């Protein structure tokens, strides 16, 4: 960029150059930068085209799998997903409830996820191996969204009083130490394809496609 500024001031134009060598350098640089700009524009257009095609293919896979699942795994209606036990992941900034994959519908969901992963792998959308056991979760709390609140509460606590994080950890541990922990049940009727690099106004990942995966 420094070179561009030096070679392209308002007073330095091919018509006003007094040095033939400077004019030659200017014209050469002008051609090179024009070619580079065109190449970058074409690259971006190609990238956008590739992304759009990949998105369309992913949507087709999603709808095809949802149709198959509605006729097979979940033909009798919405699956039942039971959630039990709490855990943190990341830098202890996401509290989530684990889905019981040992239950019948949990095993079916695992099979669906593995099949989708295989389809995406064949299309070159992923190079990662499918992780066994499959471990879906439901996000309960993102502490990163309440950093200012947590900071304020911790600032007001009396000496030797546990921090907000410690209190949460103790609650989570008490649930997990219980003989039987149930955190609720969900009956989802559709499956979604999300763009994790974009978010909706409510903070949820942008939905690219959605398809019903049960007949009930």
Pull the structure tokens for residue 124: 């070159």
pLDDT at 41: 43
Exposure on the CB side of residue 49, measured as CA atoms within 13 A? 6
Round to whole Å and give the CA distance between 213 and 216. Answer: 9
In Å, what is the CA distance from 153 to each residue of 40, 107, 122, 141, 163?
50, 41, 50, 17, 8
Round to whole Å and give the CA distance between 190 and 182. Answer: 23
pLDDT at 48: 41
Report yes or no: 154 and 163 within 8 Å, Cβ to Cβ. Answer: yes
pLDDT at 171: 73
Task: Tell me how crowded residue 127 is: count the other CB atoms within 10 A of its CB.
Answer: 6
Round to whole Å and give the CA distance between 193 and 209. Answer: 5
pLDDT at 118: 92
Q: Where are the domains of the chain?
A: 2-47
pLDDT at 97: 85
Side-by-side strand order, sheet with 137-142: 137-142, 94-99, 81-89, 185-186
pLDDT at 177: 64
**Computed from CA positions of residues 22, 23, 26, 32, in that sequence, does the dihedral angle turn out positive or negative?**
negative
pLDDT at 159: 82
Mean pLDDT, consecutive 10-residue segments, the chain of 216 residues? 39 46 45 46 42 83 91 89 82 82 90 91 87 85 80 84 78 66 85 87 85 80
Give the predicted TM-score (pTM) of the model: 0.65
């Amino acid at each position: 960029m420094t070179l561009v500024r030096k070679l392209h001031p308002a007073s330095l134009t091919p018509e006003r150059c007094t040095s033939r060598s400077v004019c030659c350098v200017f014209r050469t640089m002008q051609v090179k930068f024009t070619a580079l700009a065109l190449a970058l524009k074409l690259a971006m257009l190609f990238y956008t085209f590739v992304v759009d095609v990949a998105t369309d293919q992913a949507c087709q896979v999603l709808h095809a799998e949802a149709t198959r699942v509605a006729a097979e795994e979940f033909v009798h209606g919405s699956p039942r997903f039971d959630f039990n036990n709490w855990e943190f992941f990341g830098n202890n900034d996401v509290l989530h409830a684990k889905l019981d994959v040992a239950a019948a519908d949990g095993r079916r969901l695992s099979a669906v996820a593995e099949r989708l992963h295989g389809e995406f792998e064949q299309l070159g959308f992923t190079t990662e191996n499918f992780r066994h056991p499959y471990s879906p979760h439901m996000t309960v709390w993102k502490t990163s969204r309440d950093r200012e609140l947590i900071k304020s509460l911790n600032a007001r606590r009396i000496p030797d009083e546990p921090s907000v994080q410690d209190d949460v950890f103790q609650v989570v541990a008490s649930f997990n130490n219980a003989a039987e922990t149930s955190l609720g049940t969900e009956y989802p009727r559709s499956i979604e394809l999300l763009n994790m690099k974009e978010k909706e106004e409510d903070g949820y990942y942008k939905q690219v496609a959605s398809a019903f995966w049960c007949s009930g």
